[in-house]
Chains A and B, each alone.
Chain A
Amino acid sequence: MSNTMDGIDFAAIVDKERASKQRNWLALTAAVIISAVWVVPFYYLAISIFKTTEEYSLNHPLSLPSGLAPVVENAVTAWTHAKMGAGLWNSALYGFLGAGIAVFIAALAAYGLSRIDFKRKNLWFMLIFSGTIFPLQMYLIPLFFFYQKVGILNTHFGMVLFYSAICIPFPVLVLRNYMNGIPRDMDEAARMDGASEFTIFRRIVLPNCWGPITATFLLQFTWIWNDLLFSTVLANRAEVRSIMNALQVFQGSYSSTGPNVVLTAAVIASAPSIMMFMLLRKHFMEGMRVSGS
């Protein structure tokens, strides 16, 4: 054995390593082309909101707009026609409360399922989780009649109740798995430190679950925000309808607005959930990791 480094050309080795990385050019080009195809609808959306109805109908749909100014008028038209202010407010209410309550209850359930010993734990879990197996549409008609009978059709309360309930099972699945990965030693240490069960939940387990909590909150928020079916059936009055429901005024034979206005409305309607994602994306990505360590 010899310890000398003579005869080894380190520069050549470095070059070779670098060259091997550059061979990925081909893959990169292919990726760029595929991405471009995928981006076309967004391009269409982005340019159309800057066109007047006239400009839109005269030119090719993918041609560039002549100026940026029409976007203001489009927005105003969209906002007033669809009463978007009320819609956005309602959707925000449903999204924040519905997803928030659902994730909090799910976290409590997940803590119980992962930490507390009781009989038939798996059965309870399967029972909760079975909520996600059936097609959601199945609930629609019974729910409508039930809501009508109880008198919570077309109410904020009814909507928040529905969204909270429907959004519980999935976070339970995610949070239970995540909490199972958080070492039990930690709760035991806290218990010895004098913490009650709820203190352990609130001060030890919950703060270590921010990742998956944010992730599931975001997913459920987006689902609620984008839901059209249930909000159309259960809350159709202008004062309680959601933003997605509000956009429906642009549909149908009486609608007089052009695609440019519809698209502007769509951009406004989707902005909040995109902003939420941007804001919480760090936690979201953390939450996507499976293990709890």
Chain B
Amino acid sequence: MASVCLKDIVKVYGSDIAVRGINLDIPDRSFAVFVGPSGCGKSTTLRMIAGLENISHGELQVDGEVVNDLPSRDRGVAMVFQSYALYPHMTVRQNLEFSLKLEKLDHSEIERRIDEAVTVLELHPFLDRKPSQLSGGQRQRVAMGRAIVREPRVFLFDEPLSNLDAKLRNQMRVEIKRLQRRLQVTTIYVTHDQIEAMTLADFIVVMRGGNIEQTGTPIDIFEAPANLFVAGFIGSPRMNLLAGTAVEIDGQLCFSNDDFTVPLPSERFADVLSAGQEITVGFRPEDIVPEQHGIEPTRSVSVTGAVEFSEMLGNETLLFFNINQTEIISRMHQPRIVESGETLNFLFNVDRIHVFDTQSGNSVLSDQVTVG
């Protein structure tokens, strides 16, 4: 059990800067998820914590102790790899006991740890099998078992579910969360899958280009994205963004893009916006409700649009239409098949509008959200 603290961590490969000075505090027993597009530096950061990459600059602390120069095995961290990285020539049991034997633990201790891990992960029937004789989900569990038996202070997961099919991925996701709750070990988890990030994390670290864009609880990140990047990255389908100008109409601050005008709730934006400012507004697909097809918002702006095409997903229908050449996606909670060309009234929920400064890309409410 341990906290992990990153101070000004930088990673340089040749002349490429992969990680640009990250500061982060991961409290004891918490579940942190690093999320971001590929190449954002999340895996590199994890590998630096693991001790698989040198830290070019900065300080890494585990439980207050600087571990920059400690080899992996002495850091008290254990990692589950994307490819599982099981030893193919060893049985499940040998895979599990490999690290313990290297540590020269005595036989009874090795047995105790293996027995515990095997019980938690229900691996008993497979102990004498080789990895090639296991299914993807079973291999995944062995990989976790190998991390558990070491009784580490910190668990590291590097996209552990990306090799599994969708159904198994959901199942393993729940298992990982349950396991972490049970073992109460600080966990750092890297993924590019925002569903994993939203469901697993106590807090999410959104990264881009070697920087942290935002840290916060899943709900913080979702409800109050710090900038356009986070707004676009978290949420599926992505947030609808429209660029325009802040204008004042009859004393009311509004967003305007040609004929599309939305009043901006003055209790939230009066102090932070001024007329004439270039702004981008965002609506999540679920905040654009087709009239008579879901719970209608109390304060809304109605726009009539012709559906260009739709995706009926069974539990919902996604509707695609245009406002001033910008594609807008609306989520219909009471699904039905919608033909292309059908005209509907869409209600934009004004209370759930997100507003960003177009030039800087930051939320105009940025002092109210946590930025990394």
Q: Do A and B come from one complex?
A: yes
List the interface of chain A (C-beta within 8 A of B). Answer: 183, 185-186, 188-195, 199, 203-204, 207-208
With an 8 A cutoff between CB atoms, is B85 at the interface?
A: yes
Contacts of B229 in A (CB 8 A): none
Across the interface, name the chain A residue whose C-beta is closest to B88.
Answer: A208
List the interface of chain B (C-beta within 8 A of A). Answer: 50-52, 71-73, 77-79, 81-89, 98-99, 102-103, 146, 150
Contacts of B83 in A (CB 8 A): 183, 185
CB distance from A149 to the nearest CB of B (A): 47
Partner of A185, one of B51, B82, B89: B82
In the complex the two chains form, what is the Cα distance from A194 to B86 in whole Å?
Answer: 15
In the complex the two chains form, what is the Cα distance from A180 to B98 in whole Å?
Answer: 23
Question: Is there contact, CB below 8 Å, between B89 and A207?
Answer: yes
In the complex the two chains form, what is the Cα distance from A204 to B83 in whole Å?
Answer: 16
Question: Is there contact, CB below 8 Å, between B81 and A193?
Answer: no
Partner of B78, one of A186, A192, A203, A207: A192
In the complex the two chains form, what is the Cα distance from A188 to B99 in whole Å?
Answer: 12
Contacts of A199 in B (CB 8 A): 102
Partner of B85, one of A185, A203, A207: A185
Across the interface, name the chain A residue whose C-beta is closest to B98.
Answer: A193
8 A-B pairs besides A192-B51, A194-B103, A207-B89 with CB distance below 8 A are A186-B85, A188-B79, A189-B81, A189-B87, A191-B72, A193-B102, A208-B88, A208-B89
In the complex the two chains form, what is the Cα distance from A268 to B83 in whole Å?
Answer: 50
Question: Is there contact, CB below 8 Å, between B87 and A192?
Answer: no
Closest 5 CB pairs of A and B: A193-B99, A194-B73, A185-B85, A189-B85, A194-B102
Question: Is there contact, CB below 8 Å, between B87 and A185?
Answer: no
Question: Is there contact, CB below 8 Å, between A186 and B87?
Answer: yes
CB distance from B95 to the nearest CB of A (A): 9
Contacts of A207 in B (CB 8 A): 89
Question: Is there contact, CB below 8 Å, between A190 and B51?
Answer: no
Contacts of B86 in A (CB 8 A): 186, 189
Known contacts A204-B87, A208-B89; is-contact A189 B79 (Cβ 8 Å) = yes
Contacts of B77 in A (CB 8 A): 192
In the complex the two chains form, what is the Cα distance from A241 to B363 in whole Å?
Answer: 86
In the complex the two chains form, what is the Cα distance from A193 to B32 in whole Å?
Answer: 23
CB distance from B134 to the nearest CB of A (A): 15
Contacts of B98 in A (CB 8 A): 190, 193, 195, 203
In the complex the two chains form, what is the Cα distance from A203 to B90 in whole Å?
Answer: 10
Contacts of B73 in A (CB 8 A): 191-194
In the complex the two chains form, what is the Cα distance from A189 to B103 in whole Å?
Answer: 15
CB distance from B278 to the nearest CB of A (A): 47
